[in-house]
Structure 1
């Protein structure tokens, strides 16, 4: 393809992604009927544009979505309404991903973020695990999956200073697991996580405000279990060579992350109190605004210094950064769509087969959520696909006699465990690539006992919360 044609395609792709994001923001901000009607149409147009550009593996997901839609139409149900709902969900997922990508794009090039990550990676052995777990949580709020990429790279670089190969291997495992577990423990409570955004959208009567406190308990159990297992089973080895290099700087290097966290969370909560719009929807606007403001700060002296100015950075984001995530966008959008359509197909089959989940005790359903989502992850199902398929099959909270929030807490706990164990998720793939082991080894060997212990604790927790 000629260079001019590639640039044109990249420009159209970036513009289309921005258009979908703006439309979803307007829908969340209670736009009119025309805005809402345009949401599924824009999502479908975007998928038509992206499908020829992505790998065959992603195109298979598109074909599965088409096949399920045809099957739904032949069932004689209101397939058009279900398809529109699936496309609307796909549009929201796309917008949420692009909003997070805008902040990640700015943060990855910020020297302050690099310095903070380097400080965490150079911590002494006694506090390295807890530092990387805590730091992984803070970085995840800003960089999403980019947190694993950044901290993993810095941790790998620091490991290169170790002379003893046995100690280097042990350090690699402990540091990378701390980063991964820190990241996954943010999934049940962070307003910037797909787990919270998708699950609260699927369970009526829930929002980030209702799930944040129990989600933090889930996060504490996950992070605390990881630290405890690392402490108990830490190998006892005697390091060779001279004294270790001390980290440069102090914990104040993490202050930019704290400022961003306060800025995003504070703005979102403040707007929620003023407007009543759900926090996840507000994040769609707040995060890009923060990203643009941060870009302005980074580039205010760039033009006269010969660096990239503000307009050049924005153009680069639209022409390079956004088109560069088309593979992930198609996968996530189709996961949401396939889960929605697949659930509509599966519900009548379960009813016809006499499977009535309303007769199952609520504690059993909660425990099943903790385990079914990770099991689906072992079979290659993206958590978005598994959850959008599973949650509509669960009886309503009123039927179960529980709070809707209890359902979200159980599902997000299972989602977080999936991110730590599934060989098909970005977290295990990234950790495996840094450690030079397979993602399956990371999920099923490194995290085996972590999953066993944490899943038991989380099962007890979700049942207690559901009953209370």
Structure 2
């Protein structure tokens, strides 16, 4: 929905997710249950308000959540506490989305970032895939799936002037695939992504510090596999295209690399110095960096920096956040349903006599790489799938494996889902920009890639489960 068409009734409802973020940050640093309760209450209020302006599929998630609450109340004695925990999980997801939306808002109006994207899209054919997949990774660390929108738009602009229709179609497809895979690889390790933060929160004994390096190796591996498949399958006709600008890499990428350095090192430092969890460091640091970034951007003529900052802040709260109401409802409900559903599912599995502790650990680790992308094909959000399934599994300690191995398997599967599921925002954006169906942009473009990368990720996760 266009920002200019936000209904007046939703305008100031954007204050609700902002309040959720503020309370969740305070909770991360204080641990006070009253603060978490306030965040949960505001999050439920936000979902209640925004549910009146979203698609029926989003409302269906709200109804499923209400049905689970009723089921829990009728069948368990501690349903109230479980519902509160689920509300807190949903509030955490909403707060993280809001915090990351702030820096995405700042990046979208930065001339240096826009020029960096154009520079990557202008590369000669032989270098363009590598430039865009690395760019998709770097942009994805900050913009999340907004990286596909930003880089994809610039990429399609660069191909629009190509007179040969076949070359134009093939070039657009390859550019979108590169950006998709670059973004998906961030899900293997990024401390700013839902994949790592949710996974670490549900796997007992896991931490981002322990999983970061193995996750980075996963990302490098899937990036290399994507590059290899592109080199194998790229059409030879595209080589005839006119070469483009390839100079000034360090100059053009410097603003993005500096921003990434500030955010990633700042999060790691804040985590190490204060002891706060990574999600608390992300939610508290990222909005501050974004506000400072906007303050240093050149304001319009006849407008002071302070007035420009106030205007941008007001527009973000009253226009941009309400425009994301569908995503806000979906993300909250995915976290809520996953948490409460797992609470109900664990005794149900035990009652059926299913002893997952009897399953060899290597089978569980390998299965997690594949289950998440498979459920993604059925429309299940990875947040929901991970929150629902992982609590049912035996703990890593019980299985005799490192928590890191399970984290690597889950985030690897999450990355595959991000590249193939026709229901994810990343694939939907790529499909819209590439003018193809979501199924084509997902499993059609990345099916072979998912099989090869999934096999490599499975071997890597199993190696960690035996050696780490």
| TM-score normalised by the chain length of structure 1 | 0.95
Counterpart Cα distance in 2 of 1:77 and 1:249: 65
Gap change, CA 1:211 and 1:199, over 3 Å in 2: same
Counterpart Cα distance in 1 of 2:380 and 2:9: 34
Equivalence for 2:464 = 465
Equivalence for 2:413 = 414
> 1:374-393 counterparts in 2 under 5 A?
374-393=373-392
Equivalence for 1:103 = 103
Equivalence for 2:269 = 270
- 3-state DSSP of counterpart to 2:163: coil
**Contact in 1 for aligned 2:420/2:443 (Cα 8 Å):** yes
Gap change, CA 1:215 and 1:232, over 3 Å in 2: same
Equivalence for 1:88 = 88
Q: Which has the higher mean CA deviation after the structures are superposed, 84-93 or 26-35?
A: 26-35
1:443 CA drift (Å): 1.7
**Contact in 2 for aligned 1:119/1:248 (Cα 8 Å):** no
> 1:18-33 counterparts in 2 under 5 A?
18-33=18-33
Q: State yes or no: 1:364 paired with 2:366.
A: no
**Contact in 2 for aligned 1:58/1:331 (Cα 8 Å):** yes
> 1:72-151 counterparts in 2 under 5 A?
72-151=72-151
Equivalence for 1:340 = 339
Deviations 1:393-437 (A, max 9, x none): 110111100111221111111111111111111111111111111
> 1:5-404 counterparts in 2 under 5 A?
6-7=7-8, 9-11=10-12, 13-237=13-237, 243-246=242-245, 249-299=248-298, 303-304=302-303, 309-404=308-403
Q: Which has the higher mean CA deviation after the structures are superposed, 112-121 or 135-144?
A: 135-144
1:438 CA drift (Å): 0.7
1:19 CA drift (Å): 0.6
- 3-state DSSP of counterpart to 1:447: helix
Structure 1: state its 5+ residue gaps: none
Deviations 1:170-213 (A, max 9, x none): 11111110000000000110011100011111112222211110
1:37 CA drift (Å): 2.9
**Contact in 2 for aligned 1:187/1:195 (Cα 8 Å):** yes
Counterpart Cα distance in 1 of 2:325 and 2:314: 17
Gap change, CA 1:263 and 1:307, over 3 Å in 2: closer
1:54 CA drift (Å): 2.0
Deviations 1:235-290 (A, max 9, x none): 2226668x444367544111111111111111111112211111221010110000
Deviations 1:17-42 (A, max 9, x none): 11101000011112433213323222
**Contact in 2 for aligned 1:299/1:308 (Cα 8 Å):** no
**Contact in 2 for aligned 1:302/1:308 (Cα 8 Å):** no
Aligned residue pairs: how many?
A: 464
Gap change, CA 1:384 and 1:210, over 3 Å in 2: same
Gap change, CA 1:109 and 1:300, over 3 Å in 2: closer
Q: Which has the higher mean CA deviation after the structures are superposed, 24-33 or 357-366?
A: 24-33
Q: Which has the higher mean CA deviation after the structures are superposed, 111-120 or 263-272?
A: 263-272
Counterpart Cα distance in 2 of 1:39 and 1:100: 17
Q: Which has the higher mean CA deviation after the structures are superposed, 179-188 or 248-257?
A: 248-257
Equivalence for 1:424 = 423
**Contact in 2 for aligned 1:129/1:175 (Cα 8 Å):** yes
**Contact in 2 for aligned 1:24/1:95 (Cα 8 Å):** yes
- 3-state DSSP of counterpart to 2:316: helix
CA RMSD of aligned residues (A): 2.0
Counterpart Cα distance in 2 of 1:240 and 1:454: 30
Counterpart Cα distance in 2 of 1:318 and 1:430: 24
Counterpart Cα distance in 1 of 2:206 and 2:151: 33
Counterpart Cα distance in 1 of 2:77 and 2:304: 62
Counterpart Cα distance in 2 of 1:302 and 1:256: 24
| TM-score normalised by the chain length of structure 2 | 0.95
